Structure 1
Amino acid sequence: MRHITANFSLYQSQLKAKLQSAVSKVHISSDLWTSPHRHGVLAVCARWVDEDYQPRRALLSLPEIRHNHSGKHQSRIIFSTLNIYDIANQLGCHTGDNAASNDTCLQHLSTRLRQDRNQINWDPKRHRIRCILHVINLSLQAFLFASSREALQAALDTGSDITGDELYKPFNFILNDASGGDTTNRPDHMEAQAEHPGGVACKRASIQKVNLPPTSDNKSDNTRRGGWIMVPALRKLHRIGLWLRNSPIHSDAWDERIKLRLGIDNDTRWNSWHRMIDNLIREKAASDNILTSSDWDYLEKTHAFLQPFMSTTLWAQGMTATLSQNLMIMDILLRHYGQKKELYEAEETHDPLMLHSIDMGWFVLDKYCIIWGVPYLRNCPSP
């Protein structure tokens, strides 16, 4: 244990020297994370340009956060980390997600820096960078789940004078809870994608004795998901994923027949819907009897539409991501929305359901650009 502590102190002192010799500001990112053993930790990372003009990054601290995850508590930990490395005077921007606690954290951090002996003037709004991947994911949620433009406008209007999760929460509430799983009020064009009576269960027999899950409405499931419950193809796909995950017998039978794990959608895992659809389409020949032709048509169109979002998400993360690159990504995605809208407006390829989804996603992406200003600081945290 003594040797571990000595090594830690040695490496920490070396990192401190590198940070203090930086020729740029030291930009930080922070993110709360829960370990598989249910321990809450706060990762604090740094990016800077060293004396050889090479970009560098490092993990500064990874303390456990117990009992209190408030922004004020996070600010104390970040401030302590800055003092340990003696880089408060070099602090540049902070990158984080849209959680309201990040706004609170930076406000308290600014106060602490101002009250410090060096009286550092650090503007929490000017130095706030929002994760572009969260914006992309929000736009995709609107594409997949939103039922009305008016609902999105109401959510955005609610947060017109605020930032972070204070805007994000009402938006998500409308997407996930407003419909309450009630499919009776869905738009008329969604009826074209109406579920076949009996759903997946009526075509289950041909997958070699694999009993697929029924698609009868489940109140708790509907209440949790709200938006996608209006799209039968997504509802079926989600329930198949749950059915496979909940039993090793089911997953073994699926693996033997389909030979490719389907996966499961996840609200906090970017592109999880694309991966699920992609896995199913890759083995369509083996699983063609699971869904109706209308379901397959919708999933294939959705898969093609989501592909650029998958690519840009991968491009926008990691060590090589830059602000200028992210501006290009926003332009690419807005252009993608426009091109697909023209495609599905054409008479020979007209699709009201896709047009509705495109309108929802495009609306959100465009509104975020307006709310935050163009250009605005955008990047992805990499704790």
Structure 2
Amino acid sequence: MLRKSRGKIYISFDIWTSPNGYALVGIVSHFVDDDYQVRAILLGIREVYGEHSGENVGQTVVDVIREFQTESELGAFVLDNAGNNDTAVRYILNELELHVTHEEEHCRLRCLGHIINLAAQDFIFGQNSEKWLREHAAIEDSADIEDLQRSWVSQGIIGHIQNLISLIRSSP
């Protein structure tokens, strides 16, 4: 299906660490098939060994691209704003010898959904939203209801609304 694509194949990938400590990268292709239907297909979920560096992530993506033999059809990469993704794209282009036909700044696209999500989090939770969300996730994991409610209250009116909704949902 990929080889019958009517145009370039665009790749998105993201790394995630599972609760048991495995670093996994999901790799998805986006393309128009031979019936002119837009497709998004999961190419693989692979473990990334070592640190979450751009080189390690990039090598994992390169292995999948080579497995599907789609090097010559590659278009752009749509990724979140993590700095290691810049390094990963640079690594992929060099490893696949595409740096001649693909300019890094033109084939590394930022995910608009991720940008909107970050902006909404900062709007709702303040400028330190990532820090608060990490701390809040740890409290959620502990399942301490009182600590959870205090955490939400620290966020002002949004937190009070969250607690009210939680109370309503838990009422019989």
Give me the TM-score of the superposition, normalised by structure 1: 0.36
| Amino acid across the alignment from 2:110 | R
- The two structures, once aligned, show a CA RMSD in angstroms of 3.6
User: Does 2:121 match 1:121?
Assistant: no
| Amino acid across the alignment from 1:145 | G
Q: How does 1:129-278 map to 2 (within 5 A)?
A: 129-143=109-123, 144-146=125-127, 175=128, 225=132, 242=139, 246-247=142-143, 250=145, 278=161
1:107 partner SS: helix
Aligned pair in 2 of structure 1 residues 247, 19: CA closer, same or farther (>3 Å)? closer
Deviation at 1:71, TM superposition (A): 0.5
Partner of 2:56: 73
Once residues 166 and 143 of structure 2 are traced to their aligned partners in structure 1, the CA distance between those partners, rounded to angstroms, is 21
Q: How does 1:330-369 map to 2 (within 5 A)?
A: none
User: Does 2:32 match 1:49?
Assistant: yes
Deviation at 1:82, TM superposition (A): 1.3
Aligned pair in 2 of structure 1 residues 274, 123: CA closer, same or farther (>3 Å)? farther
More strand by share: 2
Aligned pair in 2 of structure 1 residues 53, 281: CA closer, same or farther (>3 Å)? same
Once residues 113 and 98 of structure 1 are traced to their aligned partners in structure 2, the CA distance between those partners, rounded to angstroms, is 23
Q: How does 1:287-366 map to 2 (within 5 A)?
A: none
Once residues 283 and 68 of structure 1 are traced to their aligned partners in structure 2, the CA distance between those partners, rounded to angstroms, is 38
Q: Which runs of 4+ in 1 moved over 6 A?
A: 283-286
Aligned pair in 2 of structure 1 residues 247, 83: CA closer, same or farther (>3 Å)? closer
Once residues 27 and 136 of structure 1 are traced to their aligned partners in structure 2, the CA distance between those partners, rounded to angstroms, is 21
| Amino acid across the alignment from 2:126 | F
Once residues 21 and 15 of structure 2 are traced to their aligned partners in structure 1, the CA distance between those partners, rounded to angstroms, is 12
Aligned pair in 2 of structure 1 residues 32, 283: CA closer, same or farther (>3 Å)? closer
Contact conserved, 1:26 with 1:90, CA < 8 A, in 2? yes
Once residues 283 and 136 of structure 1 are traced to their aligned partners in structure 2, the CA distance between those partners, rounded to angstroms, is 26
The runs of 5 or more residues in structure 2 that have no matched partner are none
Once residues 38 and 16 of structure 2 are traced to their aligned partners in structure 1, the CA distance between those partners, rounded to angstroms, is 25
Deviation at 1:35, TM superposition (A): 1.6
User: Does 2:19 match 1:36?
Assistant: yes
Q: Deviations over 1:325-352 (max 9, x none)?
A: xxxxxxxxxxxxxxxxxxxxxxxxxxxx
2:46 partner SS: coil
Partner of 1:88: 71
The runs of 5 or more residues in structure 1 that have no matched partner are 1-17, 147-174, 177-223, 226-237, 252-260, 266-272, 287-383
The number of residues matched between the two structures is 160
Deviation at 1:94, TM superposition (A): 0.6
| Amino acid across the alignment from 2:59 | R
Q: Deviations over 1:251-290 (max 9, x none)?
A: 8xxxxxxxxx97x77xxxxxxx99865543447889xxxx
Contact conserved, 2:48 with 2:60, CA < 8 A, in 1? no
Contact conserved, 1:89 with 1:120, CA < 8 A, in 2? no
Give me the TM-score of the superposition, normalised by structure 2: 0.74
| Amino acid across the alignment from 1:123 | E
Contact conserved, 2:89 with 2:104, CA < 8 A, in 1? yes
Q: Deviations over 1:155-209 (max 9, x none)?
A: xxxxxxxxxxxxxxxxxxxx47xxxxxxxxxxxxxxxxxxxxxxxxxxxxxxxxx
More helix by share: 1
Aligned pair in 2 of structure 1 residues 77, 120: CA closer, same or farther (>3 Å)? farther
